[in-house]
A and B are shown apart, each in its own frame.
Chain A
Amino acid sequence: GAGVSQSPSNKVTEKGKDVELRCDPISGHTALYWYRQRLGQGLEFLIYFQGNSAPDKSGLPSDRFSAERTGESVSTLTIQRTQQEDSAVYLCASSPIVGQKNEQYFGPGTRLTVT
């Protein structure tokens, strides 16, 4: 079946512009996760959704970051007034249900470059 898909695969934007990153989880997966990987660093957990609810937004780096999810499907991660430090690969993952024991299925990521 289809895996997690993300769009765009690459995004170059100018500092100060807003960007929207999209994630399509595996059909039927109620849990969805967003991560960021800066160059040479590990995966930084940003936020997860159980259905369309995000119980903990404390992982978002700043108030310029926001995320939404429509039902149990598509999610968008929006970064307002982008900064060069936002340059990273943004990874989305999904799992059948949320929980620490559940393996997560990752998409290929969106590489964001802020110039």
Chain B
Amino acid sequence: DQQVKQNSPSLSVQEGRISILNCDYTNSMFDYFLWYKKYPAEGPTFLISISSIKDKNEDGRFTVFLNKSAKHLSLHIVPSQPGDSAVYFCAASAEIAGTYKYIFGTGTRLKVLA
């Protein structure tokens, strides 16, 4: 049962254009969402996050949008740069019964074409 889904395994975008990566979740108890970026042979690195009380968070070229009613979030990168080429993971977290749960999606491989 995949509670966090990234339905697009890969995405190609021209340099300078917008990249939109999508993520859907099923558990309404998730109340914090994070995006991580992963380069080959390295561990994921944190990119941006959003609390469930917000619908948008922006940090430079990166913006995350949250639609709670649809249980959907998206990461927008604009303008896209070749260095953005990586695998992007969406993660959801919650505190349930005094412990913390962290669920990651399967990732979307972004390729930014120069």
For B99, the chain A residues whose CB sits under 8 A away are 55-56
Asked whether A42 and B104 contact (CB < 8 A) given A100-B31, A100-B32, the answer is yes
Count of chain B residues with Cβ under 8 Å from any Cβ of A? Answer: 29
A33, closest chain B residue (CB): B102
In terms of DSSP, what is the predominant structure of the interface of chain B? Answer: strand
- Give the number of residues in A that approach B within 8 Å (Cβ atoms): 25
How many pairs of A and B residues are in contact by the CB < 8 Å rule? 61
Is there contact, CB below 8 Å, between A106 and B45?
yes
**In the complex, chain B residues whose CB is within 8 Å of the CB of A103:** 34, 46, 49
Contact B89 A42 (CB under 8 A): yes
Q: Which residues of B contact A (CB under 8 A)?
A: 4, 6, 31-32, 34, 36, 41-46, 49, 51, 89, 91, 93-95, 98-107
20 pairs, A vs B, C-beta closer than 8 Å: A35-B104, A41-B106, A42-B6, A42-B89, A42-B105, A42-B107, A44-B104, A45-B104, A55-B98, A56-B100, A99-B95, A100-B32, A100-B94, A100-B101, A100-B102, A101-B32, A101-B51, A106-B36, A106-B44, A109-B43
